[in-house]
Amino acid sequence: MSTQRCPLILMRQVLLPVALTALGAVAQAGSASSGTGNLPRTTPAVALNFAIQIDKYVFFRIGNGAWPTPGGTTSQVGFSLSPTIPAVPTTPANGNNTAVNWNGTAPPFAVTASGNVLPVEVRSNGGQVSVFATVTTALTSGSNTLPMNVISATSSDSALPAPTIPATGTGTSVNVTGGGTGTVNSLVTIRTANWTFAYDNSVSRTAGNYSGQLSFTASVP
């Protein structure tokens, strides 16, 4: 199985590798001749044998760079969560010992994202390409840890879907649809898309600055 791994940092992230392809061809020829003189002549037949080897390759990138060379840098995705407390009758202000008339219910959090839309590219001649995500570094503040699946990813193209992000470990794989612009059949894959990452703020979390890393892997049989 050939694989290509691409790390992506959530709150600091994405690495990209590249594989190479080789093409070799060998030809073998025979020889023949026809008779001379008064004997009937026949057209000689010459056999020519070919042996062609086409190696597999997988090119996979997330973030900057483009075929045939990825950018070589790790992309960073960031999310900032800010609570909203009703501004009646007193508008809350940042600071210590600041009074505000508040009923104590948990405030909603607004999420501001940065760098969360990343270009993705997959190229391979190895047949069915599958992609999966692995948590390489837990999403932690040092004293508290969040499950990595508070982060989700969606794709702009269903032919190059984003895999489900697991809470820990390695998640399930998704298949990339074969074909694409510039291909001759479905056994060759050329796909591009934008993956958008989002934070699920439906559950209250302990305050802190959290960082972690995801690795995305593309593989063929």
Q: Does the residue 33 lie in any domain?
A: no
- Residue 148: both structure tokens together: 């990595």
**Domain residue limits at 146:** 2-26+51-77+116-220
- Using a 10 angstrom Cβ sphere, with 0-12 exposed, 13-18 middle and 19 or more buried, the burial of residue 74 is middle
Distance CA 45, CA 16 (A): 53
Residue 107 within any structural domain of the chain: no
Residue 83 belongs to a domain: no
Verify cis geometry, omega within 30 degrees of 0, for the bond prior to 68: yes
Residue 97, burial from CB neighbour count under 10 angstroms (0-12, 13-18, 19+): exposed
pLDDT in the model for residue 25:
42
pLDDT tens for 5-54 read 555 444 322 333 333 333 344 445 455 555 556 666 667 788 999 999 99
Parts of the chain with a pLDDT under 50: 8-27, 29
DSSP secondary structure of 32-64: -----TTSPP------EEEEEEE---EEEEESS
Specify whether the CB–CB gap between 54 and 103 falls below 8 A: no
Number of domains in the chain: 1
On whether residue 206 sits in a domain, the answer given is: yes
CA dihedral sign of residues 190, 131, 173, 80: negative
Per-residue model confidence (pLDDT) at position 74: 87
pTM of the predicted protein model: 0.77
Answer whether residue 122 is part of any domain.
yes
